Structure 1
Amino acid sequence: MAFRVNKCFHAVGNGTLFSGQIQNIQNSEVFNWLYDCGSTSLKTIGNILTNLPNWFQSHNTIDMLVISHFDNDHVNGLEILLKNFYVKKLVLPFTEWPQSIREISILGKKGITPSIALFQLNPAKWLQLNGFENRINEIVLVKGGENPNSDILESDNNLVDNPDLPIDSTTSVFFEFDTPVQKSTIKLLKINHFQSFKDSSGSFEFMFYNAEKSFSELGLIYEVGGKRFAKKSRQELSIVKADIEKTIISLGLDQHITNLPKDWRKKLKHCYEKHFGKTGEAKNNISLCMYAAPLDLNLQKSRYATLLTGDINLSSNVIDDMEAHLGINRWDSLGIVQVPHHGSQHSWTVGNTARFMPATFVQCATPTKLHPHSKVVTDLASYGARVRVANRQLPVAYSFLY
């Protein structure tokens, strides 16, 4: 054994901040990664991010930061994080720009702040406004969907060297404003979630799972003659995008995020619905999940793998798809499983516990009436599951050698 792994669900309560580090014992090299960086308490997430463990503070570089989705309690610590660390690779779920507009305009103040809204619409512009232009090296967008090439499953793909799908102006997740992400200093890649990759030592594997459906699958976009159109307005998507971008600029969301009109969400929602219709038809299951474990298949019985789930809705169908996506060897190695959405009943189906047993479950929540929900707690207890809770007082930390 030549590597030590330290992992921690930090004490942020309702939110998620998971840190991991792989230490090469022989040469002292490290690989640092984070999954999400937010909490419902800004004070809590701020204190923890500025006082990460010594084994993180001794290296001011995050090799990989994964954001599962853009709800405040999963990403509102990003600004504090970038003040203290340089991020080599920022991994985000591939989210079509109409879906981003829906999230920003519909979810209200509890969903996405103006600052995070701008970050989601154009991270290069957000970095520029906050003075962080040189704090992120590259952004990797992870797209779900069917496996485009079965050979990928057996390859040694690396996120940097093997981008899967090209970025183009029509399907881009971002708005341009006056700072196009594609023309910024940030390297921009898009991959399919079947592409796993390794840490710098080549001994540890990360694999993502994205259950998000496209707007075409949701019935809000249709195609004619190779061109795509919005369902309600029947205008070509390039025209729709230009109209929405004009609205964003008129509101000042691309520049003056601290001095927006009080009804800015309402105006953005109106523009969205003018083209795509009422929002109930656009519900989606957005949360980039991540599997992390040593690569050596001989270690499967040790159950060293961690599954991070964000706020994904773990319906039976999603679990079936996720299990098939990861494959039997990875699935049987799961030792730690994050209960999604802080134990919300809307992200958990009764009987889920049995699908992951004998793994240990981690609840990222400071107990409230609904988080974790009694139905989720009961389901976990009915199977005798081992459950640990990362609340605002106590983290859940563990380490191992391989």
Structure 2
Amino acid sequence: MKMIRTFHSIGHGGFCTEEFGDFTMVYDCGGRNLNVINYEIEHSFKKNQIIDALFISHFHRDHINGLEYLLKNYTVKRVFIPFLHDNQKIQVIVENAINIRSDSFTNNLILNPVSTIQENSKNGINTYVIYINSGEGDGNNLNKENLNIESINSNISNLDSGTPITISSSTLTYNWIFIPFNFEYNIWADKIAQALNTIDVNKDNIVQKLQTKRSQIIEVYRNIHNGENNFNSNSLTLYSGMINNSLNILRLNNLLFYPFNHYSHGHVGCLYLGDYNSKDNRSWLQLHTAYSVYWDYLSTIQIPHHGSANNYNEKLNSRSNIFSVMNVNRHSNHPHASTMKYILLNSGYPVIVTEDSCTRYIEQIEEL
């Protein structure tokens, strides 16, 4: 078995890839600087590259604004996205408007994801879009049957959270799975939608109304959050790793400024968290329960929301020797000092990836 896992140097955002020789997975595809993310995409893939699976954590622009370029220039077979209710779509559109004025592709993607993806895809209608239904993280997913990714076609439009997706690759001698989970938070979305409805703003006119009532809409949003920008939308999490913890020794090569080897007995899994809010006890328990079978298989965790103290829970690093990756800009407030402190106190390895190419973080995983 041989696989290359990369956290790409796009600064504040998310663009991660796993390449198994003849199988490629992408998790998120965006960054604050559009030129930087498009450059990184172009120089990461061959011209005829096939993307077998693309997982989108959520629809904030810093995680998806490279998607249009990726779809138009490469063959993307399957796109997995969190299912959003109408009120959640309104919430995300407003949050993007607060951060930066949204473009038409992003708004269309949120409102009509299937048609927007297929109309912009080099692969057209042969790019299958699969919604991941919301789940509670109560452990009911742990007994779900495996689903081979090659069986996912136009007949499958939705999957339950926690469905183990297996892959086929000529380089794999072990069973490898992806487990996406869409943890749902409706409380804020419902409150925002109800408040906006009082000023005649809804899903059908939100984009138009942002042109004429932008300040008023943003004020309504901030009043709901007591004057703060509290961006806690749905975030699709993803486990990528082996089905079971093999006793065979695997070598994990990590490149960060300089190469070094880290030897592992099967601990080669990664947990991608996007902007998931693991801070409060309920959210942490949901996350841990959903992935409880695989928690001890992890070697790497993408620390949520770029290391923000508002999203980080030190229990993420309850196991020692976890490579804790954070994508940030060179000049920003991320990661928070307390996040760095708890990673180190728990004998973790903080990995900071900026827009500088020398910080690109690569793990080469292979059987000895």
Rg (Cα) greater in structure: 1
Distance of aligned partners of 1:369 and 1:247 in 2 relative to their CA distance in 1, 3 Å threshold:
closer
Indicate conservation of the 8 Å contact 1:308/1:338, yes or no. Answer: yes
Find the aligned partners of 2:13 and 2:312 in 1 and give their Cα distance: 17
Indicate conservation of the 8 Å contact 2:8/2:361, yes or no. Answer: yes
Deviations 1:70-99 (A, max 9, x none): 111111001111122111110111111111
- 1:141 paired to 2:131: yes
Provide the residue aligned with 1:396 in structure 2.
361
| 3-state secondary structure, aligned to 1:399 | strand
Offset of residue 383 of structure 1: 2.7
- Please give the residue correspondences for 1:165-314 in structure 2 after superposition, counting only pairs within 5 Å: 189-201=157-169, 203-214=175-186, 244=202, 246-247=204-205, 251=208, 262-263=211-212, 265=214, 279-280=224-225, 284-299=232-247, 301-314=265-278
Offset of residue 57 of structure 1: 1.4
| 3-state secondary structure, aligned to 1:307 | strand
Offset of residue 278 of structure 1: 6.6
Find the aligned partners of 1:136 and 1:280 in 2 and give their Cα distance: 41
> 80, 85, 91: which one pairs with 1:96?
85
| 3-state secondary structure, aligned to 1:57 | coil
Counterpart amino acid of residue 35 in structure 1: Y
> 54, 60, 77: which one pairs with 2:49?
60
Find the aligned partners of 2:310 and 2:118 in 1 and give their Cα distance: 37
Provide the residue aligned with 2:342 in structure 1.
379
Provide the residue aligned with 1:5 in structure 2.
3
Offset of residue 322 of structure 1: 1.5
Find the aligned partners of 2:302 and 2:138 in 1 and give their Cα distance: 28
Counterpart amino acid of residue 159 in structure 2: I
Deviations 1:161-191 (A, max 9, x none): 589xxxxxxxxxxxxxxxxxxxxxx766112
Find the aligned partners of 2:232 and 2:144 in 1 and give their Cα distance: 30
Provide the residue aligned with 1:343 in structure 2.
307
Identity of aligned residues (%): 22
- Stretches of structure 2 lacking an aligned partner (at least 5 in a row): 248-263
RMSD: 3.6
Indicate conservation of the 8 Å contact 1:105/1:266, yes or no. Answer: no
Indicate conservation of the 8 Å contact 1:16/1:36, yes or no. Answer: yes
Provide the residue aligned with 1:21 in structure 2.
19
Counterpart amino acid of residue 12 in structure 2: N
| 3-state secondary structure, aligned to 2:128 | strand
Provide the residue aligned with 2:68 in structure 1.
79
Counterpart amino acid of residue 292 in structure 1: S
Indicate conservation of the 8 Å contact 2:87/2:190, yes or no. Answer: no
Provide the residue aligned with 1:179 in structure 2.
none
Provide the residue aligned with 2:252 in structure 1.
none
Deviations 1:174-225 (A, max 9, x none): xxxxxxxxxxxx766112112111012482100012222246x97659xxxx
Find the aligned partners of 1:245 and 1:285 in 2 and give their Cα distance: 16
| 3-state secondary structure, aligned to 1:99 | helix
TM-score by length of 2: 0.79
Offset of residue 267 of structure 1: 7.7
Counterpart amino acid of residue 6 in structure 1: I
Find the aligned partners of 2:107 and 2:66 in 1 and give their Cα distance: 14
Provide the residue aligned with 2:256 in structure 1.
none
- 1:123 paired to 2:113: yes
Q: Please say which of residues 299-308 and 127-136 is displaced more in the overlay.
A: 127-136
Indicate conservation of the 8 Å contact 1:63/1:89, yes or no. Answer: yes
Find the aligned partners of 1:340 and 1:321 in 2 and give their Cα distance: 15
> 103, 108, 114: which one pairs with 2:97?
108
| 3-state secondary structure, aligned to 2:10 | coil
Provide the residue aligned with 2:261 in structure 1.
none
Indicate conservation of the 8 Å contact 1:353/1:385, yes or no. Answer: no
Counterpart amino acid of residue 35 in structure 2: K
Offset of residue 68 of structure 1: 0.5
Offset of residue 357 of structure 1: 2.7
Find the aligned partners of 2:215 and 2:34 in 1 and give their Cα distance: 26
TM-score by length of 1: 0.73
Distance of aligned partners of 1:128 and 1:327 in 2 relative to their CA distance in 1, 3 Å threshold:
closer
